[in-house]
Amino acid sequence: MTQFMKGLDLSESFYKEIAQPILQTNFPTLRYAAAAIGYGSDTIGFDDEMSTDYTPFEDISIPQWLTFTEHRLLGATSGRVFHDDLGLSAVRKKLSYFPHELWLWMMAAQWTMIAEEEAFVGRCGTVC
């Protein structure tokens, strides 16, 4: 298991060790700002080992899948990958949509909600 590092420290380390040297070498006169901002526990300093967002993508549990909205999946899988030495395309493929069993459960849940509102939903399949 890797050692836990707070999100702000990790972001700053990435900037100082990777991004800043590249920018200084290739764009020495560029004016820019670099920051880690947002509303997550990591940016407000409340992150800990339990709150990390990291999940190995080859082992996502059903409860974890239930935390993803379709909009988040769409945001992670839309667009185009221009270069991929790290396996981003495989991760995007894994996240392209919910596992089949979960999708079936979601459809059943939606039909259950509709059934509570509309009479005779069960007859939909018999009507031509």
* Nearby residues of 34 by Cβ (< 8 Å), 6 or more positions away: 15, 19, 20
Residue 86 pLDDT: 76
Q: List the Cα angle 9/57/109 in 5-degree steps.
A: 115
Helix, strand, coil % in the chain, rounded to nearest 5? 50, 0, 50
Rounded to whole angstroms, the Cα distance separating 121 from 115 reads 6
Residue 17 pLDDT: 93
Residue 63 pLDDT: 85
With a cut of 50, list the residues of the chain below it in pLDDT: none
Residue 15 pLDDT: 92
pTM of the model: 0.47
Residue 12 pLDDT: 92
Residue 127 pLDDT: 66
Residue 64 pLDDT: 84
User: Which residue ranges make up each domain of the chain?
Assistant: 1-54
Residue 43 pLDDT: 82
Rounded to whole angstroms, the Cα distance separating 95 from 91 reads 6
Residue 26 pLDDT: 95
